[in-house]
Amino acid sequence: MPSLHELMKTHEQEINSFQPAGAADLENYRIRFLGTKGIVKLLSAEMKNVAPDQRKEAGQMLNAFKTLAEEKYNAFADMKQSSGGNAPAVDITLPGTPIAAGTRHPLRMVENEIVSIFEKIGFSVATGPEIEDDWHNFTSLNMPADHPARDMQDTFYVAQNPDWVLRTHTSSVQARILETQSLPVRVICPGRVYRNETISARAHCFFHQCEGLYVDKNVSFADLKQTLYYFVTEMFGENTKVRFRPSYFPFTEPSAEMDISCTVCGGTGCNLCKHSGWVEILGCGMVHPDMLRNFNIDPEVYTGFAFGMGVERITQIKYQVNDLRLYSQNDVRFLRQFRPA
Ligand code: PHE
């Protein structure tokens, strides 16, 4: 029978060359060497057969053997909990790998802000189709086929149907609302619009507008002014000043353009306001009586105001973005700058 010493030598070789293929292999090793009926236990039991004068030395060897067997096992400890294979165990106490979250597009953020400002004073959201017919985009808005105002908006026509256009403004939603809803109406209409413009820093073939419409009895220009003044102070801060300049839109009379005091220089003059102290932000006016008549609304009984603003313009003023193309290039370096804090 081999001596305890010889047995240990043989097993030492086995331990040294052991290389687990996976968790199951490692577990077999543990049972074979370190288990309750394992080799370490069996060899310990052999101690009683060792001559008393050799026990001390044999005991030391056995301890060294046990340490060797345990160290080998511990060296592969990271395999222990895994369900198999060589994959390292997952430490579920570590913080997770962060997942890069997307952000809202700056135009959508500003659009949401515009909409919620108007929602606070009783406007509800209305939307309409981007492919629009001539009636809703032009004719019902007081722009018959030969009306020169059509030139203000270079239009994309849809090849399949000469009556269809890509809507040139969200005023088409005004028309649809007056056609379908009973009065009074108070709506805000955000949406994408299209114009046949050469793409540059200042013009694009599509952009976004937010239209507002309020029709009721006794709606006056004073209501329009107060509503827009409220909007501006909510959007740009209490100290913002407004001014109205007479303008022309076929579907409003009187019509105006509204400027706000420059948010960058406060009115002293800078690049944004082209050194005038004012920046234009929207067009507005009292709904034209003829337009009301187009929808069988009696202009002697009902009056209304409408306004339309470019979301890109508001965003440009708010964030000083000076190239329109940035909005649609989807460069994450641009988009990431609008991540909420
Ligand atoms: N639809 C006009 C435009 O696109 C803006 C506008 C809307 C003006 C409503 C007056 C009233 O330029």
The rounded Å distance from CA 283 to ligand 1 centre is 5
With a 6 A CB cut-off, is 137 part of the ligand 1 pocket? Answer: no
pLDDT tens digits along 211-268: 999 999 999 999 999 999 999 999 999 999 999 999 999 999 999 999 999 988 888 8
Sole residue written with tokens 């709506």? 187
- The low-confidence residues of the chain, meaning pLDDT below 50, are none
Sole residue written with tokens 């700056």? 106
With a 6 A CB cut-off, is 284 part of the ligand 1 pocket? Answer: yes
Phi/psi for 98 (5° steps) reads -65, 140
Q: CATH 3.30.930.10 spans which residues of the chain?
A: 106-338
pLDDT at residue 1, rounded to an integer: 63
pLDDT at residue 341, rounded to an integer: 61
pLDDT at residue 214, rounded to an integer: 98
Q: What is the DSSP string of 70-89?
A: HHHHHHTGGGTTSSSSSPPP
Residue 272: C-alpha distances to residues 60, 107, 238 (Å): 87, 19, 20
User: pTM here?
Assistant: 0.73
With a 6 A CB cut-off, is 174 part of the ligand 1 pocket? Answer: no
Residue 83: C-alpha distances to residues 35, 76, 92, 250 (Å): 20, 14, 14, 74
106-338 sits in which CATH class?
A: alpha beta
209 with 310: CB under 8 angstroms? yes
Phi-psi region of 192 (alpha: psi -120 to 50; beta: other; left: phi over 0): beta
pLDDT at residue 87, rounded to an integer: 60
pLDDT at residue 85, rounded to an integer: 54
The rounded Å distance from CA 271 to ligand 1 centre is 25
Residue 302: C-alpha distances to residues 21, 289, 298, 305 (Å): 85, 9, 6, 11
Cα within 13 Å of Cα(26), Cβ side:
21
Nearest alpha carbon, ligand 1 atom 5: 308
pLDDT at residue 138, rounded to an integer: 95
pLDDT tens digits along 49-72: 888 898 898 899 999 999 999 999
